[in-house]
Amino acid sequence: MISRYIKKLFTPSLGKILTKTRKQGGKRFLVAWNRGLGDIPLGLYAFIDRVKQYVPEAEITFITRPNLEDAFRLLDGVGVIVVPTWEREDGSPTVPVIRKTLERIDINYKLYDVILDRVDPTGELKDCWGKLTPRLKWGEEYDNLWRRFNLHSPSRICIGVHVDTETHQFYGNKKDWPIENWEMLFEKFYNTNVRVILFGLKSTHLFDHPSIIDLRGKTSLLEMLSIIKNCCNILVAPDGGILSISYYLDVYFPITVISLWGDYNQGILKQAVPSPNTGLKHFPITGKGKDVTKISVDEVFSIYHSLQRQELLP
- CA-to-CA separations, 69 to 186, 187, 201, 309, in angstroms, rounded: 32, 36, 14, 41
Q: What torsion, rounded to 10 degrees, do the Cα atoms 51, 55, 59, 64 define? A: -20
Output the tens digit of pLDDT for each of the chain's 314 residues. 544 544 554 468 999 999 999 999 999 999 999 999 999 999 999 999 999 999 999 999 999 999 999 999 999 999 999 999 998 888 889 999 999 999 999 999 999 999 999 888 888 899 999 999 999 999 999 999 999 998 877 778 999 999 998 765 555 558 899 999 999 999 999 878 899 999 998 888 889 888 899 999 999 999 999 999 999 999 999 999 999 999 999 999 999 999 999 998 999 999 999 999 999 999 999 999 999 999 999 999 999 999 988 877 76
Contacts 24+ apart (CB under 8 A), 76-81: 76/135, 76/137, 77/48, 78/48, 81/30, 81/105, 81/107
Q: What is the C-alpha end-to-end distance of the chain, expressed in Å?
A: 52
Q: State the pTM of this model.
A: 0.92
Q: How far is the C-alpha of 180 from the C-alpha of 190, rounded, in Å?
A: 16
The answer to whether 177 and 141 have CB atoms below 8 angstroms apart is: no
Q: Phi, psi at residue 150, to the nearest 5°?
A: 55, 55
Per-position DSSP letters for 279-309, written without gaps between them: TEEEEEEE-GGG-GGGS-HHHHHHHHHHHHH
Query: How many residues are present in the chain?
Result: 314
Q: Which residues of 229-261 are buried (b: 16+ CB within 10 A; e: fewer)?
A: bbbbbbbbbbbbbbbbbbbbbebebebbbbbbb
> Collapsing DSSP states into helix, strand and coil, what is residue 255?
strand
Domains of the chain with bracketed CATH: 2-128 (3.40.1380), 153-309 (3.40.50.2000)
Gap between the Cα atoms of 41 and 25, Å rounded: 28
Q: Residues near 198 by Cβ (< 8 Å), separated by ≥ 6?
A: 161, 162, 163, 207, 212, 213, 214, 215, 216
